[in-house]
Structure 1
Amino acid sequence: MSDRLTALDSSFLHMEDDSAHMHVASAMIFDGDPPSHEEFLESLERRLHLVPRYRQRLAYVPLAQARPRWVDDPHLNLGYHVRATALPSPGTEEQLRALAGRVFAQQLDRDKPLWEVWLVEGLEGGRFAVLSKTHHSLVDGISGVDILSVLFDTSAEPAAPADPGTPWLPQPLPSRAQLLGEALVERATMPAEAVRAVRAVFRTPRQIVGSLVGAAAGVGAMAWAGLSPAPTTPYNQPIGPHRRFTWVRTSLADMKAVKNELGGTVNDVVLATVAGALGRHLRRRGERTDGLELTAMVPVSVRSDDQRGDTGNQVTAIMAPLPVWCQEPVARFDVVREAMADLKEGGQALGAEVLTSLSGFAPPTVMGQASRLMSRQRFFNVVVTNVPGPQFPLFLMGREALDPFPMVPLAKNQGLGVAIISYNGHMNFGLVGDFDVMYDIDDLARDIYVSLAELADAAGVELTTQPPPVVRDEMARVV
């Protein structure tokens, strides 16, 4: 496990400030009575050796001569990271969403390991929840799912924890002189490392020869997408530190049935659904959508099978069009499907991967300035990320996980984020918004469902899930 942050991991530190918090998060609902805080803490402690990065914190290099390193935290206190709270009676999901919005709005302390887990008691229906937060510099969505499957069981009978071997003893913290000396040595080897990084993108010599033209075209496509500003929308405003969070339950089988009837992929169904929902939402706000095409940043995993379970980020992104102008569901789906096929054929994701690999060899001060500048530009309107989760039930100390709802971080001037996860036949949307920008986020949640229902109806598919409830009490929208 490398101790130096990659350029992509480090960029999330540079983009973070008091308003833009760069942690990914999730709310997961479980069936049954909750474990006690002490039992929960002990269960996580017994498995923490399986994810050693969660015992480490950042160490910064003097004079910013290199990206930060992960080092063991000699003052690790799991009681700080593993917290417990309870919902007030009656413990509705609406109350849980409000709590999640407050928890997700709190920035992680960079002087400690960059994660938190909250045990939430008192959810109606004999259920409880777990809220988790992990800094994006530590984990991406794909590896986050892997870590979750390590921390939880795959059967109702809890598995015996793996033998951790010798008791964990934190390594001594490196001195400032050590951090600086190691950084200077690494800087001296950068040219050779840059060559190896580019080769790694293509995997084999044959791929290098066969992909040079495609990579060049992909880099050009990615650069052009980045230079083309996204349209101005109510979603792209300066954001504050507070968040609203809500979710929508859908079915993976329903999504697959729609794509089987209309062609394309499940991700095409997701993007067409989001496009339709945003169009409805904008028109309800009185915005004109004639000819309006929004831009979604869609993260794409480049994590190979042998990298699953590793921490750190192995993702790139493509800029996908969202035709909110189109109110006919099948026509909207066709626009999305054709655009995504063109983007894949054009190699935009490969171009982004090459640029990401090469960015690791820019001076840290330059990368920091570039990351902060990029986060303030309007290259896209909304992040839409679709994470594949395990298609089998997970259990926490014998309690079955019923529904996970993911959250993506909001960058500067990005007031809305959409994350989707498939799990055990479910396909759940997590919507996060700036508290003021997305004052009507519950309306958008219903728009998501209505947009999918329109697609399903056009495809002759009957949805098996129910729409989100209408929030009638205006105070329920206020955290």
Structure 2
Amino acid sequence: MATGSGPTGGAAAGVAAVESRPTRGPRRTPPTWRSGLREVGLGLAIFAVYLAVTHLVPRDRAVADAHGTGILDLEHRWGLDVERSLNTFLARHPALGVAASWEYATTYVLVTFGVLLWVWRRRPDVYPWARNTLAGLTLGAITCFALWPTTPPRLLPGSDFADIVAANHPPGTWGTAAVSAGADELAAMPSVHVAWAAWVLAVLARLHMSRWALALGSAHLAVTTVDVLATGTHYTLDAAAGAALVLLAVAGEAVRVAWLGPSAPPRRPLGQAVAAARWHPVAAEDAFFLHIETPANPQFVGGLAFLAGTPDVDAVRAAIARKLPDLPRLRQVVRCAGVRRRFRWVDAPSIDLAWHVPVVAQSGSGLDAALDAVRPFIETPLDRNRPLWRLVLVTGVAPQTSALGVLFHHAIGDGLGVLAIVRQLLEPLAPFAEDDPATRPAQPDTPAPRRYRLPGPLARAALTAVGLGQLAADGVGDRLPGAGRLTGRRVVRVVTAPLDAVRKAAREHRCRVTDLLLAATGDALACSLAAADLPGRGVRAAVPITLRPPGDPGGWDGLPGNRTAALMVGIPLIPMSVVDRLRAVAGDAERRRRSGRLLASAAVVRSIGLLPARWHGWLARLIYRPPHFGLIVTNIPGPEIPLGFLGAPVLRVYPLVSLADGVPLSVGALGWNGQLCVAVTIDPGWPVDADDFAARLRDALGILGVDSARLGWDLGTGGPAVGRERGSGGGS
């Protein structure tokens, strides 16, 4: 029945593997001069703070001298006062003194800002981290200068240190009368020279540069440390404090990102891969789904697409092979490595496309055949020794119709992230011009979408703090009745509704399409539980909400990864009308959307990623399960133009949503070709009949105003179906 490779089987014979090479994407457009001016302005603002501390903050020279003397005494007791012997040696060698003075005055500035400029132009994905840590450690040092002024050894009264810098300084640098007049002579603690040199090494490590680059950065740090001690400009403890300041800045940036999210997500299209590196860390939001996955609950984002025609499998594999260099996540595997055993993305040595793109030949027809074919794949976790994706080509679904099962691990991305990757594999059915009504696809009669804008950093911080309190006050919800004994198997049923009718019904009820879907799901759930003699009072549905900034007009950024927050919406299960249930659900959902809960839940997911991997996994599994939520409901916006796959029009795409531990039900919706494609996934161990649930969901949509005569889809003709749409049998 099936050809190719199965869910866990090996490759078909005679199919060559594709070698995976780390490649650079197309050349990125350099940053604009306006963005450069903003960065220069930030640097000037920090320098202005330094000048203000130097000239406006009153500081006592006697106190600064006492601090310097105290440091020398402490170092002497601990045997750390090596700066005196280094200074004596340098004073006896004038040529070395000149070289040391030039190094002291120039190298730390040139290297630091040279590295920062290179990162700004070549690695925009790392630049926000580099800029924020450098600004943070510099402002931290300035704060120390203001609160704890310290005289350097060369200016300490009564000391026998030689002032090497004053005697050998380069023109226009420290030691020159004009420059020294503006400089802070009581800024020994901590050493900014050492801090900046340590920052350079941290950036090289963040970029995963070669061992030679890391060795060069280490040498720069060592030379800078010896230089500031030998010239008498800093104490040994100053150098140690400068290095510690970098660690504090890195930790502070990690906490800031966990709390507020990335400060400036890079706008890098999928086809523009970053420069080649040995490995890339898996973000905390993505590692979350690696931790919660179990053999009984695979974590994936996928869909079942129906095609008008049957593409040749060799052509499919060849097309994907051509796209692999531009889609890094499709050629990377996950590894645990490092001292903290964190997950990393590493390029796979080869990619077996016969395994990733299997073929399943079905003798049956219709939706049953297609869903039966993909059921074994959605019940089995993806092999972590391979790139975490599969495309299952199902032939023989119906005359002139095939299906394509799309499965990506949830660590690769959320719904919008995976949809952006899939869009790279599809093509518009026909070119059209935006200004030509004859070729432009018809737009549905719907209201303009809500303008989406993320709040600023201060507003995010305030909303996150409030949201944490709201989440704590919410407590936990009730479990779904009868969800105690689940099997790990899956039953899938689908419902199709005209998208314009769904949107019209949402407008009439003054709610969102997602709220309409939640209410219909709640009504079907309440009726199905009552029929199974398992009445419930209420349950919380986890609804993923995107936190992605807008990308192209009308869309979102095309970056991989998970950028969502879970909105926990209460669904009443007590007997009531569908309309009353919709009012209750829509009111609760809107109240929670306008609160800080979304930002707070995202901050919690990022924050636990700062913990060791074992603790991260334990907390992730504790959070992502009942009683925090009992079912998953998601609504994903689809493309606005007809798309095809290797010339075959994509007729419908039904989203396949994974379940969680103790969660027996998920409902996913996706707009495609003017239809709302809904897929219901149920664990057959839960005593709710999948056919009955799908029928009740369809009835609830009809009661809410979606024309019941237009519900459903005939796979053979593309028109309305007669009777119920059926899905795969899950078995007992």
Letter in 2 for 1:240: T
Q: Secondary structure at the match of 1:70?
A: strand
Question: Following superposition of structure 1 onto structure 2, how do residues 428-443 of structure 1 map, counting pairs within 5 Å?
Answer: 428-437=677-686, 440-443=689-692
Alignment correspondent of 1:230: 478
Structure 1 residue 462, shift from structure 2 partner: 6.3
Structure 1 residue 110, shift from structure 2 partner: 0.5
Alignment correspondent of 1:341: 590
Structure 1 residue 268, shift from structure 2 partner: 1.4
Structure 1 residue 344, shift from structure 2 partner: 1.6
Letter in 2 for 1:38: D
Structure 1 residue 50, shift from structure 2 partner: 2.6
Letter in 2 for 1:118: V
Alignment correspondent of 2:711: 465
In the alignment, the residues of structure 1 paired with residue 494 and residue 485 of structure 2 have an alpha-carbon distance, to the nearest angstrom, of 23
Using the TM superposition, name which of 435-444 and 91-100 deviates more: 435-444
Are 1:261 and 2:508 counterparts?
Answer: yes
Of 329, 342, 345 in structure 1, the residue corresponding to residue 578 of structure 2 is 329
Letter in 1 for 2:545: V
Using the TM superposition, name which of 305-314 and 114-123 deviates more: 305-314
Of 275, 280, 298 in structure 1, the residue corresponding to residue 527 of structure 2 is 280
Are 1:52 and 2:300 counterparts?
Answer: no
Question: Following superposition of structure 1 onto structure 2, how do residues 189-228 of structure 1 map, counting pairs within 5 Å?
Answer: 207-225=456-474, 227-228=475-476
In the alignment, the residues of structure 2 paired with residue 118 and residue 21 of structure 1 have an alpha-carbon distance, to the nearest angstrom, of 16
Alignment correspondent of 1:101: 375
Contact map agreement 2:529 2:688 (CA 8 A) in 1: no
Alignment correspondent of 1:143: 417
Q: Secondary structure at the match of 1:362?
A: coil
Question: Following superposition of structure 1 onto structure 2, how do residues 274-313 of structure 1 map, counting pairs within 5 Å?
Answer: 274-289=521-536, 292-306=537-551, 308-313=557-562
Percent identity between the two aligned chains: 25
In the alignment, the residues of structure 2 paired with residue 98 and residue 255 of structure 1 have an alpha-carbon distance, to the nearest angstrom, of 28
Structure 1 residues 387 and 95: CA distance shift in structure 2, 3 A: same
Q: Secondary structure at the match of 1:249?
A: strand
Structure 1 residue 145, shift from structure 2 partner: 1.0
Contact map agreement 1:26 1:133 (CA 8 A) in 2: yes
Alignment correspondent of 2:284: 7
In the alignment, the residues of structure 2 paired with residue 203 and residue 247 of structure 1 have an alpha-carbon distance, to the nearest angstrom, of 34
Of 496, 513, 518 in structure 2, the residue corresponding to residue 249 of structure 1 is 496
Alignment correspondent of 1:408: 657
**Per-residue Cα deviation, 1:85-144 (whole angstroms, up to 9, x for no partner):** 11114x221122222222211221111100111111101142000001111111111111
Structure 1 residue 62, shift from structure 2 partner: 4.6
Structure 1 residues 95 and 214: CA distance shift in structure 2, 3 A: same
Contact map agreement 1:406 1:430 (CA 8 A) in 2: yes
Contact map agreement 1:244 1:438 (CA 8 A) in 2: no
Contact map agreement 1:326 1:332 (CA 8 A) in 2: no
Contact map agreement 1:272 1:322 (CA 8 A) in 2: yes
Structure 1 residue 412, shift from structure 2 partner: 0.9
In the alignment, the residues of structure 1 paired with residue 496 and residue 376 of structure 2 have an alpha-carbon distance, to the nearest angstrom, of 21
Of 237, 240, 245 in structure 1, the residue corresponding to residue 487 of structure 2 is 240
Contact map agreement 1:8 1:313 (CA 8 A) in 2: yes
Contact map agreement 1:417 1:433 (CA 8 A) in 2: yes
Structure 1 residues 422 and 299: CA distance shift in structure 2, 3 A: same
In the alignment, the residues of structure 2 paired with residue 98 and residue 435 of structure 1 have an alpha-carbon distance, to the nearest angstrom, of 14
In the alignment, the residues of structure 2 paired with residue 52 and residue 214 of structure 1 have an alpha-carbon distance, to the nearest angstrom, of 35
**Per-residue Cα deviation, 1:51-79 (whole angstroms, up to 9, x for no partner):** 1210010121155x042110110032222
In the alignment, the residues of structure 2 paired with residue 103 and residue 66 of structure 1 have an alpha-carbon distance, to the nearest angstrom, of 29
Are 1:350 and 2:595 counterparts?
Answer: no
Alignment correspondent of 1:478: 731
Contact map agreement 1:249 1:427 (CA 8 A) in 2: yes
Are 1:88 and 2:88 counterparts?
Answer: no
Q: Which has the higher strand share?
A: 1
Alignment correspondent of 2:345: 70
Of 294, 312, 319 in structure 2, the residue corresponding to residue 36 of structure 1 is 312
Contact map agreement 2:698 2:708 (CA 8 A) in 1: no
In the alignment, the residues of structure 1 paired with residue 595 and residue 649 of structure 2 have an alpha-carbon distance, to the nearest angstrom, of 43
Structure 1 residue 241, shift from structure 2 partner: 3.0
Letter in 2 for 1:92: G
Q: Secondary structure at the match of 1:350?
A: helix
Alignment correspondent of 2:397: 123
In the alignment, the residues of structure 1 paired with residue 343 and residue 643 of structure 2 have an alpha-carbon distance, to the nearest angstrom, of 34
In the alignment, the residues of structure 2 paired with residue 266 and residue 377 of structure 1 have an alpha-carbon distance, to the nearest angstrom, of 25
In the alignment, the residues of structure 2 paired with residue 262 and residue 339 of structure 1 have an alpha-carbon distance, to the nearest angstrom, of 15
In the alignment, the residues of structure 2 paired with residue 321 and residue 270 of structure 1 have an alpha-carbon distance, to the nearest angstrom, of 13
Q: Which has the higher contact order (CA 8 A, sep 6+)?
A: 1
**Per-residue Cα deviation, 1:348-402 (whole angstroms, up to 9, x for no partner):** 1122122233233222221111122334542111010111111221101111101
In the alignment, the residues of structure 2 paired with residue 439 and residue 36 of structure 1 have an alpha-carbon distance, to the nearest angstrom, of 39
Structure 1 residue 454, shift from structure 2 partner: 0.9
In the alignment, the residues of structure 2 paired with residue 472 and residue 304 of structure 1 have an alpha-carbon distance, to the nearest angstrom, of 38
Structure 1 residue 24, shift from structure 2 partner: 1.9
Alignment correspondent of 2:9: none
Contact map agreement 1:248 1:468 (CA 8 A) in 2: no
In the alignment, the residues of structure 2 paired with residue 103 and residue 211 of structure 1 have an alpha-carbon distance, to the nearest angstrom, of 40
Rg larger for: 2
Q: Which runs of 5+ in 2 are unaligned?
A: 1-273, 432-452, 713-720
Structure 1 residue 468, shift from structure 2 partner: 7.9
Structure 1 residues 238 and 9: CA distance shift in structure 2, 3 A: farther
Alignment correspondent of 1:24: 301
In the alignment, the residues of structure 2 paired with residue 402 and residue 440 of structure 1 have an alpha-carbon distance, to the nearest angstrom, of 28
Q: Secondary structure at the match of 2:652?
A: strand
Letter in 2 for 1:230: D
Structure 1 residues 5 and 233: CA distance shift in structure 2, 3 A: same
Alignment correspondent of 2:407: 133
Alignment correspondent of 2:98: none
In the alignment, the residues of structure 1 paired with residue 300 and residue 611 of structure 2 have an alpha-carbon distance, to the nearest angstrom, of 24
Alignment correspondent of 2:611: 362
**Per-residue Cα deviation, 1:211-237 (whole angstroms, up to 9, x for no partner):** 443222212222334x31323412x33
Letter in 1 for 2:469: G
Letter in 1 for 2:549: S
Contact map agreement 2:495 2:711 (CA 8 A) in 1: no
**Per-residue Cα deviation, 1:242-298 (whole angstroms, up to 9, x for no partner):** 211121111211111111111121111111111111112112212224xx1211001
Structure 1 residue 336, shift from structure 2 partner: 1.3
In the alignment, the residues of structure 2 paired with residue 441 and residue 16 of structure 1 have an alpha-carbon distance, to the nearest angstrom, of 24
Aligned-CA RMSD value: 2.4
Alignment correspondent of 2:268: none
Provide TM-score, normalisation by structure 2.
Answer: 0.55
Contact map agreement 2:468 2:601 (CA 8 A) in 1: yes
Structure 1 residues 356 and 463: CA distance shift in structure 2, 3 A: farther
Contact map agreement 2:295 2:380 (CA 8 A) in 1: no
Structure 1 residues 308 and 392: CA distance shift in structure 2, 3 A: same
Q: Secondary structure at the match of 1:430?
A: strand
Structure 1 residue 470, shift from structure 2 partner: 4.4
Contact map agreement 1:5 1:69 (CA 8 A) in 2: yes
